Structure 1
Amino acid sequence: MNPQPAVKPTMKPIYQCEPHIHQTMQSVKDQLHQLCRHHAKRLVRVETVDGDVFEGHIVHCDRGIVYLRLSNEGSERGFFPGPPPPLHNNFVLPLVLFNLLTISLL
């Protein structure tokens, strides 16, 4: 006798992104991805939507995340309270592209 497969209850989403918003977000992600790839290894200042500011070199950009190797200037705010750690300039910070407000070349 074959056991019957378990019936999964239908899940009702509590949030679903509108198609036009999804399309806009995808477009912004693609644009930022290309911009970050084009400026790889450049020194930049990044400001997040939460007001945190970081300075460093773009190391890599992949799947909606930019990897920033922090410099010693401008990166203490928010993320690093107090003096920077000894190997601070070797720290690579992953930042989600959707959380970025500005990227400026230095």
Structure 2
Amino acid sequence: MSFYQSGQPATLIYQADPAVVQHLHRVRDSLHHSCKPYLNHQVNVQMIDGQMHEGMIAGMDCKHLYLMVGGTADMERGYYNPYYNPYYQPYPGPGYPYPGPVNNNGILPLVLFELLAISLI
């Protein structure tokens, strides 16, 4: 990463209010505490902008909730895999059971601070 130095002191464009930063830390900690017991559970997630997502909580980190969503015909555009072949069934070799259908799930990372509500299904 390179920085352009003009010889002038940097001009501050935005600085978050310390009270807001502290509140966001509390929200993040609350979300972690609330969601951690429900890993691998089916949930319905509503975002601040009104979007709804249904899936299974696959994990969390300090910024995202990872939601495993099933691939459907209307979602192919968003989760397009150019190598996906629904007819390909890998044969692992003798002594292995038939692998069954190909799993077409995807992981949707959702920003923690944009979550409005999470409910069990």
Query: TM exceeds 0.5?
Result: yes
C-alpha RMSD over aligned residues = 2.5
- Return the match for 2:114 from 96, 99, 104: 99
Aligned ranges 1:30-49 → 2 under 5 Å: 30-49=29-48
Q: Is the 8 A contact 1:46 1:54 kept in 2?
A: yes
Q: Structure 1 length as normaliser, TM-score?
A: 0.75
Q: Is the 8 A contact 1:49 1:100 kept in 2?
A: yes
Q: Structure 2 length as normaliser, TM-score?
A: 0.66
Q: Distance in 1 between matches of 2:107 and 2:11?
A: 39
Unaligned runs of 5+ residues in structure 2 are: 77-85, 87-101
CA offsets, 1:58-85, max 9 Å, x none? 000002200000146xxx8xxxxx7243
Q: Distance in 1 between matches of 2:63 and 2:21?
A: 14
4+ runs of 1 displaced by more than 6 Å?
A: none
Count of residues in correspondence between the two structures:
93
Aligned ranges 1:46-65 → 2 under 5 Å: 46-65=45-64
- Secondary structure at 1:16 match in 2: coil
Question: More relative contact order in 1 or in 2 (CA 8 Å, sep 6+)?
Answer: 2
Q: Is the 8 A contact 1:67 1:93 kept in 2?
A: yes
Q: Distance in 2 between matches of 1:37 and 1:89?
A: 25
* Identity, % of aligned positions: 37
Give, as a single letter, the amino acid of the residue that structure 2 aligns with 1:103.
I
